[in-house]
Amino acid sequence: MRILVLGGDGFCGWPAALHLSQLGHDVEIVDNLSRRRIDEELGTDSLTPIRAPRERIAAWSETTGRSIGFTELDIAEDYDGFVALLARSRPDVVVHFAEQRAAPYSMKSATHKRYTIDNNVNATHNVLAAIVEADLDVHLVHLGTMGVYGYGTAGMRIPEGYLDVKVPGETPDGTPTGELIDQTMLYPSNPGSIYHMTKVLDQHLFAFYAKNDKLRITDLHQGIVWGTHTEETELDERLVNRFDYDGDYGTVLNRFLMQAAVGYPLTVHGTGGQTRAFIHIQDMVRCVTLAIDNPPANGDRVKIFNQLTETHRVRDLAELICEISGARLEFVPNPRQESAENDLYASNATFLDLGLEPTTLSQGLLKEVEQTARRFADRADLTKIPAASLWTRDRSVGAPTRIADTA
């Protein structure tokens, strides 16, 4: 298949592009390199020395004999350029990773909030409008987030996107009919950041275009991706994937493993009672492939899959890493506004039914990530580790309930 990977220079997009190319697909990456510019803005960098886009693509071709195309284009800003690209390339599948994906970055200031909304919502809407304008029958696979459901305790297993409900029937004058009417709705959204909000807005755009234009769309509600290498990125040093550890882009498990590697106390926010969904990066690329291989039909509602393999409580992860590495942890004031403690049960039945064999958290894999971090520890800037983006000016909201140290 001919596949465009939007955001293919990023943490998920790069290994996904390599995996799809390895499987024999004709892959082209489209990216505006904004993520690399944000590193410059923040004065930080990937812990691993990622190569320039053309260099890593040349290395892929040298290593495997397969070629990947690359177009530098801003999907949010250059709509005409994107329509022209679609017309030239005529893809069967568009995989859409091209959004600003850090919740803390999205909450830094009004400028960052506005950028995240403008970039993400425009990018998604431009992709949809352009597919219609180019008159192509494309399967759009979008990377969404488990965060659309929110992180209160739901008291039920979170379904894959849709909630079946029964509502009391009424006549037009408001008289109860005594009947219960079956309805299906998108699971009520409860985003915890402006970034997560953009994924909620994306969902509604997808529902509209699936209904109005019969576009074929799959939305993958993904949990936190951890790890750094995949089978393909390990083929050559120059294919190395990015590893974010800074307070804005570093995600919790990779951050803890990096912190353990450089001897920095693990930064547990608040009580560490937050439960989140996780997926290893190798499974992420497998899931994207499974989604591509199982498209909806024209006229179907948006297919929504929960893309996670396990859930964990933040402090349990920190304690596990302390056990296997000898690191110590520190409970720090939570910079975010989020539930201090929550349970999370979410269905991932679709991927399991499609044959996904989950890679779950094992000591071996955790150690592998820690070793990668140790190997590049001399590139780390420890001043970039603290999370400094505050959700609210009212510091009483995110105040820690206990400050302790296990050492």
Positions annotated as catalytic residues are 145, 195, 199
Of the candidate residues 106, 222, 267, 350, the single one contacting ligand NAD (CB under 6 A): 222
338 is an interface residue for ligand USQ by CB under 6 A: yes
Triad 340, 246, 20: Cα angle to 5°: 100
What is the C-alpha to C-alpha distance for residues 248 and 102, in angstroms, rounded to an integer?
6
Stretch that binds ligand USQ, among 176-184, 320-328, 330-338, 350-358 (CB under 6 A): 330-338
Residue nearest ligand NAD (C-beta atom): 10
- Binding string, residues 20-59; x marks residues near ligand NAD by CB under 6 A: -----------xxxxx------------------------
> In the bound complex, what is the minimum distance in angstroms from residue 341's beta carbon to ligand NAD?
22
CB of 259 to ligand USQ, least distance (A): 8
Structural tokens at position 27: 């892959």
Asked if 48 contacts 241 with a C-beta cutoff of 8 angstroms, the reply is yes
Nearer to ligand USQ, 224 or 369 (CB): 224
| SS3 category, 80 | helix
Torsion-angle region of 253 (φ positive above 0: left; ψ -120 to 50: alpha; else: beta): alpha
3-class secondary-structure state, position 393: coil
In angstroms, rounded to a whole number, what is the distance separating the alpha carbons of residues 190 and 304?
17
Q: Closer to ligand NAD by CB, 21 or 331: give it.
A: 21
Single residue of 127, 143, 261, 266 touching ligand NAD by CB under 6 A: 143
Widest Cα–Cα separation across the chain: 72
Interface residue with ligand USQ among 269, 286, 303, 313 (CB under 6 A) is 269
What is the DSSP-derived secondary structure letter of residue 302?
Answer: P
Tally Cβ neighbours within 10 Å of residue 376. 19
Q: How far apart are CA 48 and CA 155, in angstroms?
A: 40
Host H or E run for residue 93:
strand 93-96
Per CB under 6 A, which region of 99-107, 185-193, 311-319, 333-341 contacts ligand NAD? 99-107
Question: What is the distance between the alpha carbons of residues 284 and 38, in angstroms, rounded to a whole number?
Answer: 24
Closest to ligand NAD by CB, 12 or 314 = 12
**Cβ within 8 Å of residue 27, ≥6 positions away:** 3, 4, 5, 8, 17, 20, 21, 68, 69
Q: Out of ligand NAD, ligand USQ, none, which partner does residue 338 contact, by CB within 5 to 8 A per kind?
A: ligand USQ
- The footprint of ligand USQ on this chain (CB under 6 A) covers a number of residues equal to 23
Q: Is 268 in the site for ligand USQ (CB under 6 A)?
A: yes
Stretch that binds ligand NAD, among 10-18, 174-182, 315-323, 389-397 (CB under 6 A): 10-18
Beta strand segments in 130-263, E:
139-145, 162-170, 176-186, 216-222, 224-226
Residue 258 touching ligand NAD (CB under 6 A): no
Cβ distance to ligand NAD smaller for residue 34 or 218:
34
> Among ligand NAD, ligand USQ, none, what binds residue 246 when CB lies within 5 to 8 Å by partner kind?
none
Within positions 100 to 129, which residues make up the interface with ligand USQ, using CB under 6 A?
101-103
Give CA–CA dist 213/236, Å, rounded: 43
Smallest distance, ligand USQ to C-beta of residue 58, A = 29
* In the complex, residue closest to ligand USQ by CB: 147
- Residue 184's CB is within 10 A of a number of other CB atoms, namely 10
Alpha carbon 331 to its chain centroid, in Å, reads 25
Name the token pair of 29: 């990456």
Does 317 sit near ligand USQ (CB under 6 A)? no
Closer Cβ to ligand USQ, 48 or 275, answer by number:
275
Alpha-carbon gap, residue 330 to 50, rounded angstroms: 30
Contact residues: ligand USQ, CB under 6 A: 101-103, 145-147, 223-224, 251-252, 255, 267-269, 272, 274, 276-277, 314, 334, 336, 338, 387
Contact residues: ligand NAD, CB under 6 A: 7, 9-13, 31-35, 74-76, 97-101, 119, 123, 143, 145, 222, 224-225, 251
